[in-house]
Amino acid sequence: MTSTPSAEAAAAAQHHPVREGELLWTPRPEFARASNLAHYTDWLRAQGRFDAPDYDSLWRWSVTETEAFWGSIWDYFGVQSDTPYTRVLDTREMPGCRWFEGSRVNYAEHLLRFEARQPDATVFHHLSELRPLQRMSWAELGRQVRIVATQLRALGVGPGDRVVSYMPNVPETAIAMMATTAIGAVWSSAAPEFGVKTVIDRFSQIEPKLLFAADGYRFAGKDFAREAEVGRIVDALPTLEHIVWLPYLQPDQAPPALPGLRTWQQLLDHPDVPEQTFAFERVPPDHPLWVVFSSGTTGLPKAIVHDHQGVLLEHLKLMHFHLDLKPGSTMFFYSTTGWMMWNILLAALLTGSSAVLYDGNPAYPDPDFLWKLAADTGATSFGASPTFVQMMEKAGLRPGEQHDLSRLQSVVVSGAPSTPETFAWFYRCVKADLWVTSQSGGTELCSGFVGAAPTLPVYAGEIQTRLLGMDVHAWNDDGREVMDEVGELVVTSPFPSMPIRFWNDAGNRRYREAYFEAFEHPQGGRVWRHGDFIKINSRGGCYIYGRSDSTLNRYGVRIGTAEIYRAVEQVDGVADSLIVCCELPGGNYFMPLFVKLKDGYTLDDAMVAAINRKLREDCSPRHVPDRIYAVDQIPYTLTGKKMEVPVRKLLMGWPLEKAASRDAMMNPVAIDYFLRFAQESKDYSWRSA
């Protein structure tokens, strides 16, 4: 047993809806003492660096003594560098500060550090709808990475060259990423379900030299060939010199006749490269590691550039201290290769853990498929989105009764705000002895701002804490900190995994506009405004209330969308919902609510009254929408986020091409209703009701 569930909370979860902030879990003393976080705290004390009586003290030290904290991370994990750094940080002013100047580091080298310590241990459990469950050892991973990296060098790919991927979540993609970054080339990835325009919008910005591409994939038992799409992508990328082709969907079919093409097997069919003779390209702090992209729901996706040092330091901290992964741990998070959570999943290797790679539908052939996979792989950490949990709950699943989850210790919920009901479902239907964690961060930092700590209790719907080194606060519109109130999520001190820049962003104009225009720092420089609503309570617990740029403003009160959804989607008959708030002339607002109903239900007067009553009772009269409309689908991005901002822009008169990209949508036809709604409402009749 790793933890102590609250008996009162367990009973409450069984008999009545759980309350926000209700205590659900307390770590047992032996579990807390065995955590990586506790070991680090002991090390700080023994070194005479800082004596932290509790987590809050440790966090405050980490954000006030920024240089001391991040310097301790470097030393604690023994970061390998050709040369010592001259200083941890040159200035605390953002943006533009520089970290660990003088150092030369390689991220992939650290991912593979455990190969020598545990060569025969499992590094990957991997499964797809096309391949059976298999395992890969650390030694085999290292062997293939070194061969591929050596062959990339032979093809003329070197430091700074961009290598892109249009591949599924299989070991070959992970190997390609590590090989690319091992030689100092710059990695970028798109999932094969992305449309051609979405891929071109991303990759054309960074002018790649080599493309890894798969011939297709299988999802929910249906095959999706991608040969034609790859051909169109190649035609749109004139800088490409080489293509590495993975015959994944049809292994026996000849590859297409594309210039510079070789197969994955041809790349791999070369002599082994001994670990002792392979040289990782260690690079300075401003050298790009990878380019990740914003969701692309509006405009051209932002090409966000991270460096080796910053991501390495952040991931060492995150994976060890906040996810508590160790050798012998197994991390599973359902993700595609087009989401930054795939990068986080591979970062588990920094701890000596194994990772579970799955390519396919999360609910095929059965709704509980991922739980079976977790049991079969002995997962200790299970990750998914709140949307997935809602699907499980609606299917009436109780995975803890149906599968052997005895090794499971923690759950990582990410991708959208989590409700108290999400937490309660895990304790009720998975296991009572469970560390249920919610996280929030973003592609911009390839990590989290707020998340988990193994030494703290779990409260329903509450993110446990602000992460170490993340100087996160809630600010009001006047730039003053608020407590126990919803405000803007701001970060007032720099952190190493901040983007070093956006690609092709002259003078850092787009970068500054995206994060640094809203607030000035009292001591000079700017403050990072992330674009989320957050509430931080007196014990340090955090609540995320949706995107602040999809603000609902009712009678001068700002409302986050998450609390609307929590209430509305508890109404009998409501399957899903989306709400926006449109500014009108004269300082007025129009707030429509769109609901997807379950089969057999209609949006009649009784349903409208029930929804309004629920919002009025659970939230406030200000939460009641002006009108409610029934829709067939709610539009989502490919990463599972409701498309509040694009819908709002459509309703405000933006053209579709500027408001949203169909290729970035999970269900592109869902946007058609809102397009018609906006076009048919140009007389503003809906706004005057």
- Asked if pLDDT for residue 227 goes beyond 90, the answer is yes
Q: Nearest 5 degrees, angle CA 233-CA 238-CA 240?
A: 80
Which two structure tokens, joined as six digits, stand for 47? Answer: 């070194």
Q: Residue 587 — pLDDT band, cuts 50, 70, 90?
A: low
Other C-beta atoms closer than 10 Å to the C-beta of 402 total 14
CATH number attached to the domain at 3-108+310-542: 3.40.50.12780
Q: Is the pLDDT of residue 386 over 90?
A: no
- pLDDT for 664: 85
Q: Report the pLDDT value the prediction gives residue 581, as an integer from 0 to 100.
A: 87
The CATH 3.40.50.12780 portion of the chain extends over: 3-108+310-542
- According to CATH, where is 3.40.50.980 located in the chain? 138-293
* Least confident residue range of 152-161, 179-188, 519-528, 577-586: 577-586
pLDDT band for position 688 (cuts 50, 70, 90): very low
Q: Tell me what the mean pLDDT of segment 165-169 comes to.
A: 98
Report pLDDT for 233. 96
Q: In CATH, what class is 138-293?
A: alpha beta
Who wins on pLDDT, 137 or 582?
137
- Stretch 511-531: mean pLDDT: 90
Q: Which residues are paired to 304 by β-bridges?
A: 292, 502
Confidence of residue 586 (pLDDT cuts 50, 70, 90): low
At 539, is the pLDDT very low, low, confident or very high (cuts 50, 70, 90)? very high
CATH topology of domain 551-687: GMP Synthetase; Chain A, domain 3 (3.30.300)
pTM over 0.75: yes
CA distances to 223, 330, 537, 543, 563 from 483, rounded to whole Å, are 51, 37, 6, 12, 18
312: its two tokens: 């390495």
What is the mean pLDDT of the segment spanning 210-238?
96
Query: What is residue 496's three-state secondary structure?
Result: coil
Least confident range of 249-253, 348-352, 371-375, 621-625: 621-625
Q: What is the mean pLDDT of the chain?
A: 91
Mean pLDDT of 219-242: 96
Rg from Cα positions in the chain: 25
Q: Where are the beta strands (DSSP E) in 185-335?
A: 186-190, 210-214, 216-219, 222-225, 242-246, 261-263, 288-293, 303-307, 330-333
Q: Where are the domain boundaries for CATH 3.30.300.30 in the chain? A: 551-687
